Amino acid sequence: MASMTGKVGLIVGVANKRSISWAIAQAAAAEGAQLVLTHQGERLEENVRELAATLPESANPLLMPCDVTSDAEIDAVYNAIETKYGGVDFLVHGAAFADREDLAKPFYETSREGFKKALDISAFSLVALTRRAVPMMEARGGGSILTLSYLGAERAFTNYNVMGVAKAALESSVRYLAADLGPKNIRVNAISAGPIKTLAASGISGFSSILQTYRDRAPLRRTVETSEVADAAIFLLGPAGRGVTAEVLMVDGGFHAVGV
């Protein structure tokens, strides 16, 4: 039996076939999970619908719109989950956004509104989605929550700016949520992946040079693929990771460990 047979997962952040969230969705479906995929508005709905159609029939996918800044839309997603599946076992949070102009200029010039938007979408949304998932997971004996981060949470990267601050808040949120929810047998972790050409990455100026730096300096002398991040995600979400919580797992070819 596959490791996630009988489990229901909510995956937030699928934009297109290059999304890390999509790679995780494919891996979870291959392990037998039933999936709920959300999309950000009508612009991305067609992409997500076409991708969902390629999942195995056992994934029984449900597609829902979800603006993560709207508690009403988050509630609607969980109400639909409860109606169709009776609850949820795992959550993958892949939502992140910052205004392009706030990424392009020096961090000290970040606008107040841009700062609030980046922190709301990229960090607080994990809290909002978790809050609604907790009673469902607790009723099913526990669960697992996973979010996606980057090394820019720990180090200053050129043109990452306010997103790095948001990711730092996200990683801190993982630790506090894990401390809160451990007694309920709900684990909370993050994966800090190496740079990958996703839709979000397209907003970072000079991204190609970042990729080349990883190829030159990471111990594996290459960047990572979405499928490698997805495999690590299945470990953290599934029974093999049952003793792991409050962790930020680096899946970056070892780049984080090297100096000059």
Predicted model pTM: 0.95
Which active-site residues does the annotation give? 150, 160
Domain ranges of the chain: 8-253
DSSP string, 205-237: TTHHHHHHHHHHHSTTSS---HHHHHHHHHHHH
Residue 32, pLDDT > 70, answer yes
Q: What is the DSSP letter of 164?
A: H
Summarize pLDDT for 52-103 with one digit per residue, the tens: 999 999 999 999 999 999 999 999 999 999 999 999 999 999 999 999 999 9
pLDDT tens-digit series, residues 78-91: 999 999 999 999 99
What are the Cα distances from residue 142, in Å, to 88, 139, 175?
10, 7, 17
Confidence of residue 43 (pLDDT cuts 50, 70, 90): confident
Does residue 200 surpass a pLDDT of 80? Answer: no
Half-sphere exposure of 188 (CA within 13 A, CB side): 25
Residues 56-86: b if buried by 16+ CB within 10 A, e if exposed: eeebebbbbbbbbeeeeebeebbeebeeebe
Tokens of 166: 């948001």
8-253 carries CATH number 3.40.50.300 = no
Of 3-12, 39-48, 122-131, 205-214, which gets the smallest average pLDDT?
Answer: 205-214
- What value does the mean pLDDT take over residues 226-230? 97
pLDDT of 256 reads: 96
**Looking at residue 67, what is its pLDDT?**
96
**At 199, is the pLDDT very low, low, confident or very high (cuts 50, 70, 90)?**
low
> Which pLDDT belongs to residue 205?
63
* Weakest mean pLDDT among 140-154, 193-207, 244-258: 193-207
**Does residue 1 carry a pLDDT above 70?**
no
Q: Which pLDDT score is estimated for 2?
A: 80
Percent of the chain topping pLDDT 90: 88
Average pLDDT taken over every residue of the chain: 94
Helix (H, G, I), strand (E, B) or coil at 135: helix
| Pairing label, strands 248-251, 90-93 | unpaired
Q: Residue 186: CB partners within 8 Å, gap ≥ 6? A: 134, 137, 138, 142, 143, 144, 145
Per-residue pLDDT for 204 more than 80? no
